[in-house]
Structure 1
């Protein structure tokens, strides 16, 4: 594969062949922290879809507005962010991104105090304005920090730290947030009061507990509101904490010296830019990225619904399976980054997508706990997808134009807003008739990520050909 044309060195010295040349090492490490920070935001927020459904007593579809607001912010801000970054540079883009991220996180304070779901949604929307700035800046910035032949490996190395932030978010959610929610105590009391639940299917027990909780919310309004206020205070603590960290990091970036390579050229060669952005490699990459992000968010958000509905798990136990998925994702990212030295990136992407498809079918059709193992295993196949699609799509694009081109790939994150919303509609149906068989709606909903992996496989194998072809 020919990697993105960025920061081409004038010699073939060992320094020019390094994945991260020495002159970029400090700023590379500093920028890599951003990958962990947006990973934290993504994967601390995902389990809150189920938590908000219970706290505010709303449907799965209504709770999926968390994802619509969160990933919709990327779609709204990706292109404006790219234009700002091209005009004012990488440093300015990072500082603006950190500021917006912090503001969005701090909006959880009035949201929790007023117990308003809508204010939480506004906060998530603003927060992802910041993430759009950070991702639109950091990805092409990392690509530019060295020779083009190591650009995709460099981006995969930086992206390998994204799951560390994700894992941190998941651990905080599972250890300090979800177990403290009032619904858990309520569910345990209901099970103790109804020993007959032991003989029933998990999906039936879950439905009865949800009905009892809804009745409790109607009949014991004062007690329920007290529980609700306590739960929301618990939810806001991690967001306020990360806002403080963001402000400190903003100051570090503000006083750090960026490499001389961060030079802006205001003049856009429109003809060249249009030519670069209308290739099947780039446009296909945008489409593949949208389907990838959709698949990732669906698998990681609704693993909790899958565990609770089909296997009778508590919300915090189901989240622990999500943590296992993230650990696998993290390990697989490093392994696949190593494999890129020996395998064509497009071919490896296609193989992993086929693996993801097969595991998704196992998630749908295997009724035992093995189905849960398949759902967790999908993360091993997803680990390489985002940065590899990103690198393939920007292959051969002028580094200045790449700042604008990256906006399309960040805009594609909107797939994480739309597809979970569609999956939520399926989950709310109860049971689904599909291909002559009746499936629990949670199982049937995973046909959506299966379709996503088909699209990704097609793009991977198609983009494995030389760029000039």
Structure 2
């Protein structure tokens, strides 16, 4: 009787471990979601480089150029909770459609911002774009977990998240070779000495290359959007039903959650501050141009990525 009981207890574990990580019917959508993980990693790190770029293009102070990050991460602060409500009320698929839709609208906004040479319009476009990434990031993590057996959900998520730092590195290289390398070497004094027509011509070229990667990625986003729009996935969040007030009340009364949010706020804040000012710091101390200073950003990111891959426990 004991042996039979033991065999019965072990059997479910054997069945769980034999489940495929990604079932065949979900592989296409899983691949598209993996692309989304890479996409927002790419755009996060590429946007860091807009701070020194806009400071030079629009001849503004560092504190004013840092509004790029206020607009970008301010969108995350504003739209993360609405994103959760969207996927709770409708589905993960709708969350992906909304997130990609906001991204495409924001990226398209770069075009009139460049034509009008308007820094404020760029900030609005960045806010809309980042809002889409916020919705996308909030949606894709639980979406990936839902695409298959629960016993393999963590493996699916780990695999998908591995593409986020790869996208981040791609964003750094795009920023260096597409945006920063096409900045005119003219200094602030040189630009102040230009005529309005000369300065406008220089800005036209620089802002064109700012737009290229953001607008170019719209094609990839549109392909993913069409695939999910045509899909018939029944992916509604199956979690416990509760009102917004009940959910917030439950979270607030969890000390670990509350302190975790505070810790994450300061951690991300410090991280973004360091990455944002790395290029300007290198430029000020080594007297090099933006594209050359970006090498130090890339080297430091590669070092961090290698530590995560080789000895992840050292980075915890």
Alpha-carbon distance between aligned partners in 2 of 1:278 and 1:19, rounded to the nearest angstrom = 38
Alpha-carbon distance between aligned partners in 1 of 2:300 and 2:101, rounded to the nearest angstrom = 31
1:85-124 pair list within 5 angstroms:
85-124=87-126
Alpha-carbon distance between aligned partners in 1 of 2:309 and 2:252, rounded to the nearest angstrom = 30
Compared CA separation, residues 263 and 50, structure 1 to 2 (3 A): closer
Confirm whether residue 305 of structure 1 aligns to residue 280 of structure 2.
yes
Would the aligned equivalents of 1:163 and 1:329 in 2 still touch at CA under 8 Å? Answer: no
CA deviation profile, 1:227-253 (whole Å, cap 9, x unmatched): 112111111111110112211211012
Q: By how many angstroms is 1:141 displaced?
A: 2.1
Would the aligned equivalents of 2:90 and 2:236 in 1 still touch at CA under 8 Å? Answer: no
Alpha-carbon distance between aligned partners in 2 of 1:335 and 1:304, rounded to the nearest angstrom = 27
Q: By how many angstroms is 1:292 displaced?
A: 2.5
Would the aligned equivalents of 1:17 and 1:150 in 2 still touch at CA under 8 Å? Answer: no
Would the aligned equivalents of 2:76 and 2:130 in 1 still touch at CA under 8 Å? Answer: yes
Q: By how many angstroms is 1:102 displaced?
A: 0.5
Q: By how many angstroms is 1:297 displaced?
A: 1.5
CA deviation profile, 1:381-415 (whole Å, cap 9, x unmatched): xxxxxxxxxxxxxxxxxxxxxxxxxxxxxxxxxxx
Alpha-carbon distance between aligned partners in 2 of 1:148 and 1:59, rounded to the nearest angstrom = 51
Would the aligned equivalents of 2:178 and 2:210 in 1 still touch at CA under 8 Å? Answer: no
> Please, what TM-score do these two structures have when normalized by structure 2?
0.86
Alpha-carbon distance between aligned partners in 2 of 1:149 and 1:22, rounded to the nearest angstrom = 12
Q: Which residue pairs with 1:65 in the alignment?
A: 67
Q: Which residue pairs with 1:170 in the alignment?
A: 172
Q: Which residue pairs with 1:42 in the alignment?
A: 44
Would the aligned equivalents of 2:46 and 2:175 in 1 still touch at CA under 8 Å? Answer: yes
Compared CA separation, residues 21 and 248, structure 1 to 2 (3 A): closer
Q: By how many angstroms is 1:158 displaced?
A: 1.7
CA deviation profile, 1:190-216 (whole Å, cap 9, x unmatched): xxxxxxxxxxxxxxxxxxxxxxx3333
Q: By how many angstroms is 1:154 displaced?
A: 4.0
CA deviation profile, 1:164-202 (whole Å, cap 9, x unmatched): 2111221111112211111x2x3xxxxxxxxxxxxxxxx
Q: Which residue pairs with 1:157 in the alignment?
A: 159
Compared CA separation, residues 99 and 218, structure 1 to 2 (3 A): same
Q: Which residue pairs with 2:14 in the alignment?
A: 13
Alpha-carbon distance between aligned partners in 2 of 1:227 and 1:283, rounded to the nearest angstrom = 49
Alpha-carbon distance between aligned partners in 2 of 1:277 and 1:32, rounded to the nearest angstrom = 32
Q: By how many angstroms is 1:334 displaced?
A: 3.7
CA deviation profile, 1:19-72 (whole Å, cap 9, x unmatched): 834355443322111111111111111111001001101111000000000111
Compared CA separation, residues 297 and 152, structure 1 to 2 (3 A): farther
Would the aligned equivalents of 2:22 and 2:148 in 1 still touch at CA under 8 Å? Answer: yes
Confirm whether residue 352 of structure 1 aligns to residue 315 of structure 2.
yes
Alpha-carbon distance between aligned partners in 1 of 2:89 and 2:37, rounded to the nearest angstrom = 23
SS in 2 for 1:20: coil
Q: By how many angstroms is 1:273 displaced?
A: 6.5
SS in 2 for 1:78: helix
Would the aligned equivalents of 2:87 and 2:236 in 1 still touch at CA under 8 Å? Answer: no
1:440-455 pair list within 5 angstroms:
none
Would the aligned equivalents of 2:87 and 2:237 in 1 still touch at CA under 8 Å? Answer: no
SS in 2 for 1:58: coil
SS in 2 for 1:13: helix
More helix by share: 2
Which of these residues, 203, 215, 228, is aligned with residue 189 of structure 2? 215
Measured on the aligned residues, the alpha-carbon RMSD in Å equals 2.6
Compared CA separation, residues 129 and 19, structure 1 to 2 (3 A): farther
Q: By how many angstroms is 1:90 displaced?
A: 0.1
SS in 2 for 1:302: helix
SS in 1 for 2:231: coil
> Please, what TM-score do these two structures have when normalized by structure 1?
0.59
Alpha-carbon distance between aligned partners in 1 of 2:305 and 2:192, rounded to the nearest angstrom = 43
Q: By how many angstroms is 1:12 displaced?
A: 2.1
Alpha-carbon distance between aligned partners in 2 of 1:325 and 1:154, rounded to the nearest angstrom = 28
Structure 2: gaps (5+ residues): 1-10
